Amino acid sequence: MVWEIDINSYHVGILPAFDIFGKDYNPSKHDLSSKLNIGDLVAVRIVSGDTARDPLVTISGENLGKIDSGELVKISPAKISYLISKHGSMIQTIESSTDTSITIGQNGLIVLKSESGSNLDKIIKVFKMLDSTTDDSNMDEKIQKILDENN
């Protein structure tokens, strides 16, 4: 038994039941819906895959698994490399100046967790600007200006 996971690709990710229930998984004893339901958001890592078949994914590992809370933002996967470049300094700057936790997927999906709605609004504005901009010049300054608004 497996779950098919939408990984924002033309393939779906295949998450085997034993990845969640362990090697002792037994379909007659274990109910898949007790762990994950349709529509649940999960952070996964691709374990293996090729162009001929759907990739095998796992939720075993640090910061992987079911995501129970947070705001989901989607940007172009091509923009993710800009966000995580320079050893993640851009994300660290955004997180520290807004007291927000940011989880970035290479597929363009980003989960934000913050106690402050105004901080979430700022970060969403930053990501939307980044996603719609083709000119990267002065991007750091533009982002800092948004983060400094109302502070």
Are 62 and 93 found together in one domain?
Answer: no
Other CB atoms within 10 Å distance of the CB of residue 20: 20
Q: Decide if 79 contacts 130 (C-beta within 8 A).
A: yes
The whole-angstrom separation of Cα 28 and Cα 21 is: 13
- The tens digit of pLDDT for each residue in 98-111 reads 899 999 999 999 99
CATH number of the domain encompassing residue 46: 2.40.50.140
pLDDT at 151: 56
Are 77 and 60 found together in one domain?
Answer: no
Other CB atoms within 10 Å distance of the CB of residue 25: 15
Q: Decide if 52 contacts 85 (C-beta within 8 A).
A: no
| Helix or strand run (H / E) with residue 120 | helix 117-132
CATH number of the domain encompassing residue 108: 3.30.1370.10
Residues of the chain with pLDDT under 50: none
Q: Could you tell me the residue range of the domain that residue 101 belongs to? A: 71-148
Q: What is the domain count for the chain? A: 2
